[in-house]
Amino acid sequence: MAAVLGCIADDFTGATDLAGLLARSGAPVSLRMGVPSEPPRDVAPFEVIALKCRTAPADQAVAECRAALRWLREAGASRFFWKYCSTFDSTAAGNIGPVAESLMAELGASQTIYCPAFPENGRSVFMGNLFVGEQPLAESPMKDHPLTPMRDSNLMRLLAPQTTKPVGLANRLTVARGVEALQARLAALRGEGVAHVVVDAVADQDLEVIADACRDWPLITGGSALAMGLPHHYRAAGMLSASVRPPAPPDLAADAVVLSGSCSAMTQKQVARYLAQAPGYQLDPITLAEEGPGAALDWLEAQSMAAAPLLYATAEPQAVRAAQERLGVARAGAVVEAALAELAIRAREQGARRFVVAGGETSGAVTQALGVRRLTIGPEIAPGVPWTYCESDGRPIALTLKSGNFGAESFFADALSKLGAAQ
Ligand code: ADP
């Protein structure tokens, strides 16, 4: 079987989010962590490659995404989706624009669209400005993100320094007039040489119009929700089989661990809520940098995995800033990620088979440490956050990778009871 849509995601939680939403179509979705070293086999109609390139130098991110594109083309895909965060997480140096331009050049595409909207999770784009709930992006907690603080809400302004070709807007008034009006606007912009078009969307219906208007484009870019509008067009065109068979959950022990390296506002609430019902240990980047993770490993060793203990570096912006001033942004993140990765391995050795991980970068570090290369998408816990099934060290495990602001306050407990219910 050949891939119908090849997707490249700039972080691991983003990739599971996208894979989970594509799986709502009932078609098989395969999620691969990093570009596979071997040629494609067991190809699914929806192939998602998860990279960890959101904060990498732009030339490295571009090289990784080009390698992913080559693999997906070999897998038979002729349409591609470049997935980034619904809060457009990036820096002035990239990587959303540079990667899009490079993929466009490879594919011979003269234009692409940008739509990070995810209405179900409160992300909307209006007149080119991104909102988180009712707040402009730059006034939302994203302004304090440890790695990609978002201090402007205007997507055209954010994108322009990241691209060499002109940036334009197809606004909500056009999208509301339907598929043909949007196609006409995109064509007019193309005539003016506009290669990068931000497209407004405030509701799922807008995303459906956009997906319909661009369904045969070689490359579209956006948050995960935009991709949800694509499968039924492929099915109508006879590119997807009608048969639906959800994957069987593996036979897993109940033992679990929760690892959180996300400092997002929602994760802070989730950590506080979960600490009321389970044992927890807070990691401090400065202690980790000076003394290593020994104390945390000792604490973990004394825990029963049946209690699903929580290890977290999650902290308020003030504490994050203090650690970053002392260690530098990159090192503060790196010591936390390395510690959580080591703790994940130790938890597996202590019998944990269900891993709840919070944070995009954190998920990348933990997944790599567990040696997970390929995941099958299981039941959805919250919009954009499914359980996934995979193997680690020859044993079946389940992983859920939650990006910062996703999930309800009770997410950690929700996740653990959801997989229990599926068994
Ligand atoms: P999110 O999905 O919320 O963006 P990420 O895991 O992608 O979460 O990013 C959070 C980053 O912040 C990670 O690199 C993590 O290691 C780092 N971090 C976590 N806790 C702290 C802390 N207390 N101080 C400084 N940096 C931290």
- Segment 81-91 mean pLDDT: 95
Give the atom of ligand 1 at the shortest distance from the alpha carbon of 267.
3
- Say what the pLDDT of residue 91 is: 86
Task: Round the average pLDDT of the chain to a whole number and report it.
Answer: 95
- Residue 268 CA to ligand 1 centre (angstroms): 11
Give the atom of ligand 1 at the shortest distance from the alpha carbon of 403.
2
- Residue 266 CA to ligand 1 centre (angstroms): 13
The contacts of residue 143 (CB under 8 Å, 6+ apart) are 149, 150, 151
The contacts of residue 131 (CB under 8 Å, 6+ apart) are 122, 123, 124, 125, 137, 153
Selection from 41-50, 253-262, 294-303, 375-384 with the highest mean pLDDT:
294-303
112 lines ligand 1 (CB under 6 A): no
Share of the chain above pLDDT 90, in %: 88
- Say what the pLDDT of residue 420 is: 67
146 lines ligand 1 (CB under 6 A): yes
Alpha-carbon distances, residue 85 vs 121, 286, 386 (angstroms): 12, 29, 16
Concatenated DSSP letters of 48-86? EEE---TTS-HHHHHHHHHHHHHHHHHTT--EEEEE--T
Per-residue model confidence as pLDDT tens digits over 103-161: 999 999 999 999 999 999 999 999 999 999 999 999 999 999 988 999 999 999 999 99
The neighbour count for residue 328, using CB atoms within 10 Å, is 12
Q: Where are the beta strands (DSSP E) in 110-184?
A: 112-115, 123-126, 129-132, 135-136, 167-170
- Say what the pLDDT of residue 248 is: 74
CATH 3.40.980.20 residue spans of the chain: 256-422
Can you tell me the distance from the alpha carbon of 380 to that of 364, in angstroms, rounded to the nearest whole number?
A: 20
DSSP 3-state assignment of 115?
strand
- Say what the pLDDT of residue 404 is: 87
401 contacts 363 by C-beta, under 8 angstroms: yes
- Say what the pLDDT of residue 419 is: 84
Per-residue model confidence as pLDDT tens digits over 376-398: 888 899 998 999 999 999 999 99
- Say what the pLDDT of residue 217 is: 98
- Say what the pLDDT of residue 46 is: 94
- Residue 157 CA to ligand 1 centre (angstroms): 26
CATH topology of domain 256-422: Molybdenum Cofactor Biosythetic Enzyme; Chain A (3.40.980)
pLDDT band at 87 (very low <50, low <70, confident <90, very high): very high
- Residue 154 CA to ligand 1 centre (angstroms): 24
| CATH number of the domain located at residue range(s) 5-236 in this protein | 3.40.50.10840
Per-residue model confidence as pLDDT tens digits over 326-357: 999 999 999 999 999 999 999 999 999 999 99
CATH 3.40.50.10840 residue spans of the chain: 5-236
- Say what the pLDDT of residue 422 is: 41
327 lines ligand 1 (CB under 6 A): no
Of the residues 137, 150, 362, 367, which should be mutated to test ligand 1's pocket, given the most ligand atoms within 8 Å of the CB? 362
Handedness of CA 322, 326, 329, 335 (dihedral sign): negative
319 lines ligand 1 (CB under 6 A): yes
- Residue 350 CA to ligand 1 centre (angstroms): 25
